[in-house]
Amino acid sequence: MKNFINLSTRAKLLLSFGLIWILFLTVIIIAYQGLQNITQSEKKLHNVNFQIALELRELRSHQNFNRAAILDMMLTKNRPEQQVFEGIINERAQAINDIIGGLSKLDTDPLFQNQLKELKNEIDAYRQSRNDEILLIQDGKLEEAQKLGATIQKERFEKIRSISTEMGNTAAKDADNQLALDMQQANSAIILFIIFGVITLFFSIIMILLLNRTIAQPLNEITKIATRVGEGDLNVELPAVERKDEVGILLQSFSSMIVTLKRMATMAQKIASGDLTGTVVPQSEKDILGNAFLQMLDNLRRIMKDITESVNLLGSTASEILASTTQVASGSAETATAISETTTTVEEVRQAAQLSSQKAGRVSENAQQVAQVTQAGQKAVDETINGMREIQNQMEAVANTIVRLSEQSQQIGGIIASVTDVADQSNLLAVNASIEAAKAGEQGKGFAVVAQEIKDLAQQSKQATIQVRNILNDIQKATSAAVMATEQTSKAVENGVRQSAQTGESIKKLAESSSKAVEAATQIVASSQQQVVGMDQIGLAMNNINQAGTENAASMVQAEKAAKGLNELGQKLKLLVEQYKI
């Protein structure tokens, strides 16, 4: 059983259906040989035994007619009438010769040939004496002719009749023996046919149950688990198996996939909660989803690190701007110095803003890489769907194979119908033989018995073919059940394809989210660029402050407010960045 389970699916199907076909072929050969033997026996019975009996009866009839014709010649003295009787006797004698010649060709048995030779010698001797008797009648010597007919001719006539009767009885006995042998062969063929038919049916049922247990049931379990996974439920457990066939490999691959998806889901939950400290280990270089997660995690860490540095720099710069503007406002005496320091500080802020803008650009690029990784994950799901469709195509090939098996079973039904026609024709032949036997009267009783035996044999053959047809109907029903099971499996595979497509939709939504992240990063870049432009404007403003002292107070108030806002923004960004663990 373990070795059978470890075979490939194709090897299982070839082995199962190959053995079933071998058993079917054995049943057909047994039925064909039995029918062939019975047909040959019936042919010999008709062409030899029955023909010998008919020919011997015809010979006795000619012999009796010739004896009666001799008596008629004795009773008439008319010469022309005597010549007429003589001509008839010669014709009958020639017919007897033809019968003997035909009998010598029908049966080559030495005993039969010896009896036939003895019969021919007696007929020749009787014919010679009969010619002498005819000459005596024609010469008018009736008393001598009567004496010859009552002595020698009578003894020879009785011996001829005895030999022919004995040969006829021997032929009838041989026919009875042949019928008994045919009956024995027919019974043996029926028993063998029933035994092999039951074995074939039992083996077919076992193979169907075994295939259902080793292929259909595991695939059904996998389909249910795939449905749950497609619905997003990863809390599933696969049975531990040690199979080496396609089903075992599929279970192992599916178990590995579920473990990987659970690990990826855990990592995604950590990322969603702001924890970027986890690690992702891809299964292999071809693990697109694992490598994509690893790359995405590295990109997010790098992005958050850059953002943190930019926010810290922005916070410190904002604090310095606030301190500078406060000092300028508190002491107008130090206005020139404060303005100079403020100009220097603004320049530093402008450079920091440019650096922040550059880092925001890198964040945008990393977000685009995340989107590309998501697209690669969607491609992997598409390849999974194609694999499920390949399984669906293989199941359709199995269904076609079973349909061809059903068609060939119907062809066997056609052969059985032909055998039934042969049995009906044998039955009709037996009825005709019974009619001929009834016409023959007392001498046809033995022939009637033979005809009845043939009729019984034909009925038995017909019953046997009916049993074979019933067995074939059961096999066709079992084949139809296998087709239905295969169709259900195909539907289950279709559900797997559908669930995989839903998984692809989920990844597609993730890609859309990544695209939105790219858009947000782009907006951050634009905002950083605007900040750079703003800082440039602040530099120009500071130059204007140096040029226009009268506007110094109002400009410093505005600069103080801007510094406070920038400081608050830096603190908020710092608190937001601190939520992520790198």
Q: Are 288 and 267 in contact (CB under 8 A)?
A: no
| Tokens representing residue 556 in the block | 């410093």
Which residue in the block uniquely carries the two structure tokens 């990863």?
Answer: 234
CA separation for the pair 536, 353 (Å, rounded): 10
Q: Please tell me what DSSP assigns to residue 274.
A: T
**Span 234-259, pLDDT tens digits:** 777 766 666 666 777 777 777 777 77
d(CA 430, CA 448) in angstroms, rounded, equals: 9
- Nearest-angstrom CA–CA distance, 519 and 308: 20
Query: Does residue 336 surpass a pLDDT of 70?
Result: no
Judged against a pLDDT cut of 60, whether residue 517 lies above it is answered with no
How much is the average pLDDT of 109-113? Answer: 84
Residue 395 has pLDDT above 70, yes or no: no
Neighbours of 341 (CB within 10 A): 16
CB-CB contact of 292 with 267 (8 Å): no
Q: Is 222's pLDDT higher than 60?
A: yes
456 HSE (CA, 13 A, CB side): 13
Please, which residues have CB within 8 angstroms of residue 447's CB and are 6 or more apart in sequence? 50, 53, 433, 436, 437, 440
Q: What would the pLDDT profile of 396-423 be if each residue is shown by its tens digit?
A: 775 676 667 667 666 766 766 676 776 6
Instruction: Examine the pLDDT at 65 and tell me if it is beyond 70.
Output: yes
**DSSP 3-state of 275:** strand
Q: Output the pLDDT for position 285.
A: 77
Residue 312 has pLDDT above 80, yes or no: no
Instruction: Find tokens 């199995």 and name the residue.
Output: 398
Alpha helices per DSSP H over 212-287: 217-230, 246-272
Q: What is the pLDDT of residues 118-141, one digit of tens each?
A: 888 988 888 888 888 888 888 888
The pLDDT value recorded for residue 402 is 61
Paired tokens of 368: 């685009």
DSSP assigned state of 442: G
> What SS3 class is residue 407?
helix
